[in-house]
Structure 1
Amino acid sequence: MAKANILLIFLCSLVLLLLGGVRVEGNPNYRDALQKSFLFFQGQRSGKLPANQKVSWRSNSGLSDGSLDHVDLTGGYYDAGDNVKFNFPMAFTTTMLSWGTLEYGKRMGPQLQEARAAIRWATDYLLKCANSKPGKLYVGVGDPNVDHKCWERPEDMDTVRTVYSVSSSNPGSDVAGETAAALAAASLVFRRVDPKYSRLLLQTARKVMAFAIQYRGAYSDSLGSAVCPFYCSYSGYKDELLWGAAWLFRATNDAYYYNFLKTLGADDQPDIFSWDNKYAGAHVLLSRMALLGKDKNFEQFKQEAESFMCRILPNSPYSTTQYTQGGLMYKLAESNLQYVTSISFLLTTYGKYMKAKKQTFNCGSLFVTPNSLIGLAKRQASDAFNSFLMPRTMN
């Protein structure tokens, strides 16, 4: 089972804790935790580090990445404690960083610049992966089967830096769709502060999404043991096509992406949101048009988003979610907190959309208000945060 890096997704919960009205000073200090989360990203950096690098014990690494295929694939982030760059979860992390920044950036204070820097470190690398060779999308660097047998600093690594890619003959609609989502979401983050860079991100996102749509297939099937069992595409690639098209529609308002979304349908019933399964995130993102834009064409996605909430809320008659005795959401045994925090982000964001238009909905006999969702998200994120500090108190 692949191990997603909890802290990458945990940042989203730190954002909602900081901005959702809970205390930010005292013990624990969530503002300080948010700042330290960005330091974590610096600690995971690959490539030539900038002069303003704050994590001083890290140095340049992976400077030959891509050379085996005569391209430059330096940069990006290492995964977890590995020296491997897995683009599938890295791109999802980038999408979520961008979404969090778009929703809550105005209240991040000085950490907004750190958020943009963290996003750009990833997107600079993803641009290289998408534009280095026509017809190829690079999706990773480093052989995980070799790397995981050798525990060493990235500055000292001596394992072969194998490069992996998808193409028309070896498709990867899932990783391509997620890469397109990351680039499109980031283009919105930089639209006002760096318009030229934003245009490059969006142009590349369009190209990568076209590749994902035209050449259908799961990257797990194309790359086998290079990505499985580490980051297999267990949910298939339809969710990434939906997710990528949703972000491109938000970034462009191009009817092409809306029409494509309609061909995918909205009949899935997820009760999870993660680097692998994006359905719920896409539904919440698209529901924004129905709630804030009052566009009836997106009503089906609003209904799907609310059905997801009904499967999460503990008192809902339609709930499919387990909770521990201490009240923490329990989804999967391995790296459970990544699901807790990513779902909490959706709860908070949908609650924010509802509150803006004074909306409510029902899960059968359960009356759901914006505060129902936001309150649950705050409790989950607080418990997740405290479990790092006091793991024995969690039942």
Structure 2
Amino acid sequence: MEEKKQKQHFLNIWLVLYMVAAAVFPLKQCHGISEFNYREALSKSLLYMEAQRSGRLPYHQRVTWRHHSGLTDGLEQGVDLVGGYYDAGDNVKFGLPMAFTITMLSWGVIQYGQEISDAGEYDHALEAIKWGTDYFIKAHTHPNVLWAQVGDGDTDHYCWQRPEDMTTSRHAYKVDERNPGSDVAGETAAAMAAASIVFRRLNPHYSHLLLHHAKQLFEFGDKYRGKYDSSIEIVKGYYPSVSGYMDELLWGALWLYKATDNHHYLNYVLENAHDFGGITWAITEFSWDVKYAGLQIIVSMLMEEKHKEHKHILDQYRSKGEYYLCACLNKNNKTNVDRTPAGLLYVRQWNNMQYVSTAAFLLSVYGDYLDSTNRTLRCDRGTVAPREIHAFAKSQVDYILGSNPMATSYLVGYGTKFPQRVHHRGASIVSYKESKGFIGCTQGYDNWYQRLDPNPNVVVGALVGGPDNKDQFNDQRSNFMQTEACTYNSVTLVGVFAKLHRLNNNDSMIHRITLIASS
């Protein structure tokens, strides 16, 4: 009898703990405990950002095979451009994708900050954001000047060198009144505005500084309109602004509205909705170049009561945003996103995983919104409940982590099987800290790029380009379409990993209570 009472008492404690957790983290349905460790995936995704750092590395740098690099960046032009991130496996600092990386990481922290904190990664997330925004502050040397690139993609691609050994051009390129770049200015404004929200409570002074730069950059981009790849033509072969600059101007204005609550910026988004494509473009991808889907999703979630006088335009934004989601879910009558035989979203051959990660993020965010407002998603082929949206987003994440025909994790360093020959200069050559002997351009190609062996350094947390449209993956360094990773691939999943980790914890708690109750 006494044993029964103790057991019941223990069960009651568990039930109380569960009720507290459920109140803080409501979970409508238990889908079973996942086999994947999302907390580990989250941690490693943020670790990858440290592998991509340029500049003088801090004493607490965790990726120890990297060392200082690019310490004279900007010197030729008389400006300090030391810092920032390399975007992928090369040694160029491209401003547009770098800014998008910081915008998306900031959005993830804004959306899932509590979950990231509970997973013990909040400080690392903030460090990753600040490494980028500190660089943007340096790069914005005048209200109408933004240094948008350091390095020459053409000469860089002739060399296979560690960033610590770079002998390629470190020429810096800027946009200004005579050479406009509304797209890169708008995206950098978005990044700094979003980051200002992240730092508002913890570092008000820094938050205010970021907002100051964001406002100036947006004004500059709007006043002097033009595509940045027309001003910096050398970027066309690497990060051309195919979608133009109108989406970035709307995107920048919207993030400034979220950061300031100033209706001037919201009015900009509403008044330019038609002419800039916000309510006319129905898009099936969201990326460093094409911002429309993300823009439309955020506008769709604006509080209706607060903005009911703009309902007509907001509804059009929502229609286009939901078109994107329905396309991902294969619920449109005409245009949907293709899928591989195993169910992975497939947009294009080169670095397809970037589109998978952004889709998983937008689906998660909007699914949460529908959940909180007791709504469903209306598509051509019927309504979709939030739980179905969440389940599909999770399926994409699980595919990335190993639930796929190749039984491999496309997040490097996660699981027992992952890409060993990532197309990455620093990872593929012996660490500078281990061997400080200079490695030249051709020496790097001859002795390291051509090797069949796995990379000597594991670029942990890098999300590679991924498999082809038949779910096949060729782990070769030369297969850059599949084996190169980018910063914006990984960081977009930070918030999603944190959310799934929280749901797993809730599921585990329910499972344990059930076992106790039935034993």
Deviation at 1:227, TM superposition (A): 0.6
Contact 1:190/1:197 (8 A) holds in 2: yes
Partner of 2:225: 216
State the one-letter code of the partner of 2:63.
V
State the distance in 1 between where 2:33 and 2:184 align: 36
For residues 352-388 of structure 1, give each alpha carbon's deviation from its aligned partner in whole angstroms, at most 9, with x where no partner exists: 1111110113213411221222111111121123252
Counterpart for residue 17 of structure 1: none
CA contact (8 A) 2:347 2:355 kept: yes
1:321–1:330 CA contact under 8 A, matched in 2: yes
Q: Which residue of 1 is the match for residue 292 of structure 2? A: 279
What is the aligned partner in structure 2 of residue 350 from structure 1?
366
Alignment partner, residue 233 of structure 1: 241
Q: Is there any run of 5+ residues in structure 1 with no aligned partner, and where?
A: 1-19
For residues 254 and 45 of structure 1, what CA distance do their matches in structure 2 show?
A: 34
Is the contact between residue 289 and residue 295 of structure 1 (CA under 8 Å) also seen in structure 2?
A: no
CA distance in 2, matches of 1:280, 1:67: 39
Q: 2:232 aligns to what SS in structure 1?
A: helix
TM-score normalised according to structure 2 size: 0.69
Contact 1:290–1:302 at 8 Å: present in 2 too? no
> Which residue does 1:40 correspond to in 2?
48
> Which of 274, 280, 301 is equivalent to 2:317?
301
Partner of 1:267: 280
Change (3 A) 1:366 1:319: farther
Query: What is the Cα-based RMSD across aligned positions, in Å?
Result: 2.1
* Cα deviation, residue 21, structure 1: 8.0
Most deviating of 201-210 and 360-369? 360-369
| Aligned CA distance change for structure 1 residues 45 and 326 (closer, same or farther; 3 Å) | same
| Change in 2 beyond 3 A, CA 1:292/1:45 | farther
Deviation, 1:312, is 2.1
Return 195-204 or 301-310, whichever deviates more. 301-310
CA distances 1:83-136 after superposition (whole Å, capped 9, x unpaired)? 110010000000000000111110112101100000000000011111x24531
Checking the alignment, whether the CA contact within 8 Å between 2:243 and 2:289 is kept in structure 1 is: yes
In structure 2, what is the equivalent of residue 72 of structure 1? 80
Where does structure 1 differ by over 4 angstroms across 4 or more consecutive aligned residues? 20-26, 291-296, 389-393
Q: Secondary structure at the match of 2:174?
A: strand
Q: Which has the larger radius of gyration?
A: 2
Tell me if structure 1 keeps the 8 A contact 2:185–2:217.
yes
Query: 2:128 aligns to what?
Result: 118
**TM-score w.r.t. length of structure 1:** 0.90
Deviation at 1:79, TM superposition (A): 1.9
Match of 1:249 in 2: 257
Do residues 60 (structure 1) and 68 (structure 2) align? yes
- State the partner residue of 2:177: 168
The structure that is helix-richer by fraction is 1
More divergent stretch after superposition (365-374 vs 99-108)? 365-374
Distance of 1:394 and 1:312 partners within structure 2: 18
Aligned to 2:471: 394
Whether 2:346 is the aligned partner of 1:330: answer yes
Moved more, 360-369 or 117-126: 360-369
Q: 1:218 to 1:83 in 2, by over 3 A?
A: same
Partner AA of 1:277 in structure 2: V
The alignment partner of 1:232 has SS state of coil
- Shift in Å, 1:263: 2.8
Once the two structures are TM-superposed, the CA of residue 248 in structure 1 deviates from its matched residue by 0.6
Matched, 1:143 2:149: no
Q: Structure 2: give runs of 5+ residues left out of the alignment.
A: 1-28, 274-278, 403-408, 411-416, 419-465, 473-519
Is 1:157 the counterpart of 2:166? The answer is yes
Please list the CA deviations of residues 192-218 of structure 1 after superposition, one character each: whole Å capped at 9, or x if unmatched.
Answer: 010000000011000000011001110
Q: Is the 8 A contact 1:318 1:363 kept in 2?
A: no
Deviation at 1:24, TM superposition (A): 8.5
Specify the alignment match of 1:14 in structure 2. Answer: none
> CA offsets per residue over residues 239-271 of structure 1, 9 Å max, x none?
111111110111111111112112322211111
2:191 alignment partner, SS class = helix
Q: Which residue of 2 aligns with 1:7?
A: none
Instruction: Verify: 1:182 aligned to 2:191, yes or no.
Output: yes
Moved more, 311-320 or 162-171: 311-320
Deviates more, 1:120-129 or 1:307-316: 307-316
2:6 match: none
Report the AA paired with residue 337 of structure 2: T
Q: Paired residue for 1:4?
A: none
Percent identity at matched positions? 44
